[in-house]
A and B are shown apart, each in its own frame.
Chain A
Amino acid sequence: MKLRSERDSLVEALSVSGRAVGTRTLGSAVLSGVLLETSGNSLTVTGTDLDLTIQVTTEVIGVEDGSCVVPAKVAADVVRSLEPGAVTLSCTEDTVEISAARNNTTLRSFPVVEFPAVGQPGEKILDLPAKSLSEGLRQVTKAASSDDARPLLTGILLTEESGEVRLVATDSYRLAMRDLLETTGSAITSDILVPARALAELQRAPTTGGGDGVVEVFSSSSEITFKYGGLRISTRLLEGKYPDYRQLIPDSYPNELHLGKESLLSALKRVRLLARDNTTPVRLSMRSGGVDLSVVSQEIGDSNETVDGDFSGDEITVAFNPSYLIDGVDAVISDEVIIEAADSGQPATVRGAERDDYRYLLMPVRVS
């Protein structure tokens, strides 16, 4: 195999696919590598940890068809460090040679036959608009759990809501959901639980960042595949029954607070500086005319700030984990944020005033 490529497109292909490569080396050594396949002027780079597979196809100048498996991290680092311009990559049976300008690097490669074969994606089920998918993922992924002891909660639920697709994530302290409008294709007939890690990769892939077009979704009983442009991400699905989140959404709230998103967000970030760790809550005292924010840390000191706004209901004080609250407010796509609360032991809701496709449920911190 031999090819020539612009440095930048090669770096992108190597590093994006390399993110599927596990840091744990429990499996065979070949899994620390990415598979490069050239056919004509098309290069496909594949990385996998057997659960998650990321494949990037990009255009190069193909000199000779073929394939090789290169160590993912060091190859990406080497190519990234080269001067901008053309890079030549050529393989022998057990090495790969990277050359550009006056640098020449030879890396040991892994046997191609040992690299796991990438299966065919399942049946196509959906087209999702890339822009709103990327936006929705940004809104919900943070609410997913990173605790492997609760595997179900490390997933993002794709479920059907009034004929559209809804994304749901929760770590049991907060729950974020986003409805994706304008989806096409057959609707989601049964809930799909996708590891958040895979969707985070889909969201951060540069080609999906706010781009136009659609993301094609394929699914089989145990796997889901997303295709967008030259990017293909496949992941094993999580199995089990997701909590019945609909039961948690209150029908109505007695207290409602309207605030400017940016002023609330920057005030929260200022008072959070005084939080000693995750256990220091921010108190929100809601009253007519706005809200008083307060963080008190015994050893450090305290910080208070008032944010003006409109409030209807009874005066109430509720405490939250400041970072969780910031995540929820930050995800609102609207100039005005609405916080709804019942009492200091019930979940509050954060949403945007102008759009009702996003909702963030947050459980308070009980202070005693």
Chain B
Amino acid sequence: MDRTILHVDMDAFFAAVEVLDNPELNGVPVVVGGTGKRGVVASCNYEARLFGVRSAVAMASARRLCPNAVFIDGRYSRYVEVSAKLYELLTTVSPVVERIGLDEAFLDIGGATRLFGAPIEIAARLRESVLEELGLNCSVGVGRSKMIAKLASKAAKPHLTQRGVEVGDGVLVVEDSSERSFLDPLPVSWLWGVGAVTRKRLSELGVKTVGDLAQIPEAILIKEFGSSHGTHLALLSKGIDESPVVASRPPKSIGREVTFAQDSCDIEYLKQRLNVLSAGVSSQLREAGLSASRVSVKVRLADLTFQTRSFTLSTSLDTGPAISAVAQALLDSLPIDRGIRLLGVSTANFSDVERAEQLSLLSMLHDDGVRKVDSSEGEDLQEQAAVLEDGWREIVKAVDAIRAKFGYSAVGNTSTLTGLGLPSTARRDAPWGPSGQDPGD
């Protein structure tokens, strides 16, 4: 039986949330992201897009393109909050909701059509309730595959024309019978896995639209792009995409990272940042009722490469000082003398349930290339973390109670103090880069 899949995509999500919270921004170009020197644009509204601003461009070029825009430091925690409400709303339509980032989701509504009527009605009603309950616009696409649904929501979005922003349909249902006429005129770059390189080679073959691509025999595509990519292109051009909607699960890891306005190799400063990051991670762990037995530290070096070190303990941790102790030991083993531009701490292997891992027979055929921390060093670290964890366990309970009443910045460890006082929130607030006020600036 053919599936019915719905894709919902919030319109200019972060920027729209900012406008929602500050109604005077309505109609003004709004750019959200890291407002510091190295920040990037995370989101911008359609007014800003008219000036050529796009997400993922450097904040500096956005300022050049649209000097009159309002530039806002992203408030990640606020977006997470709105996204959670969206997710809640979506699960009332179908139990099978696959979240993609904060602002997109796929829903399998095969079962919902019996309860709630035709796909077009479900889609229209969903769009209406998102507007009513969240005050935000979204675009909804429906088709028999994830690919068609996603293309449909994209086609339903507001678009830029020479006259300005043109309101989209908001909802587009692509019936099986009209799939071909929907796909044919779309530019090939809309398809998954068609990036700049593939697009260039396709254009050399005279392929501009999906319809053009569908005319090319699969054998030629395989010859041109190799068997896996070629087959993939052939299937997509025919609208075939069997990938299932996989219901989202609770997180497998919780982490936090910070990008510095200037590369840093100051070990004391970096260790202090680890304290701050670990405090944030630990409080999120406790909020979720989890504790973790694996700690990882990630750095981005001056040459832009990433390096990661991890350590697995035989016990599990949920206090900041214990997590930070492990993170600091890991940092010592990283080549940071030439400075790093990004530092991150993450935790995994949550112990809310007993972990059972089915071992693989065939992996015994290959060399297991996992680098192990020197065992005596490892034992010391294990011991140190366990002592800290024991010592802080009662204190963090009191800290959590105070924070629940007076807010996150009411209390904290002196080791997490910055020049600007205690970090203001437990959430990682700027995954897209530093703000102009970053204390490290």
Contacts and interface: CB of A to CB of B under 8 A. Distances in A.
B358 A367 contact: no
Interface residues on A, range: 20 to 34
B311 to A, nearest CB: 15
Given A26-B240, A244-B365, A365 B360 contact: no
A366 interface: yes
Contacts, number: 55
A199 interface: no
A364 interface: yes
B303 interface: no
Contact of A363 (B355, B356, B361, B365): B361
Contact of A345 (B353, B354, B355, B359): B359
A281 interface: yes
A162 interface: no
Interface residues on B, range: 10 to 19
Interface string A1-43: 0000000000000000000000000100000000000000000
A363 B354 contact: no
- By secondary structure, the A interface counts as loop
B222 to A, nearest CB: 15
Interface string A355-368: 00000010111111
A243 interface: yes
A175 B361 contact: yes
B93 to A, nearest CB: 26
Interface stretch (A63-71, A107-115, A166-174, A333-341): A166-174
Contacts of B362: 170, 172, 243, 248
A364 B353 CA distance: 19
A321 B358 contact: yes
Contact of B356 (A174, A243, A367): A367
B355 A364 contact: no
B240 A363 contact: no
B280 to A, nearest CB: 26
Contacts of A367: 354-357
Contacts of B420: none
Contacts of A243: 362, 365
Contacts of A363: 358-361
B355 A368 contact: yes
Interface in B200-247: 240
Contacts of A26: 240
B361 A361 contact: yes
A172 B365 CA distance: 11
B364 interface: yes
A132 B358 CA distance: 32
Contacts of B356: 279-281, 319, 365-367
A368 to B, nearest CB: 5
A129 to B, nearest CB: 29
A345 B363 CA distance: 12
Central interface residue in A175, A243, A296, A368, by most chain B CB within 10 Å: A368
A366 B365 CA distance: 18
Interface in B284-330: 293
A47 interface: no
Interface string B74-107: 0000000000000000000000000000000000
Interface of A: 26, 170, 172-175, 243-244, 247-248, 279-281, 296, 298, 319, 321, 345, 347, 361, 363-368
13 contacts: A170-B362, A172-B362, A173-B358, A175-B361, A243-B365, A279-B358, A345-B359, A365-B356, A365-B357, A366-B357, A366-B359, A367-B355, A368-B354
The 7 A-B residue pairs with the shortest CB-CB distance, nearest first, are A172-B362, A363-B359, A363-B361, A366-B357, A365-B356, A281-B356, A279-B356
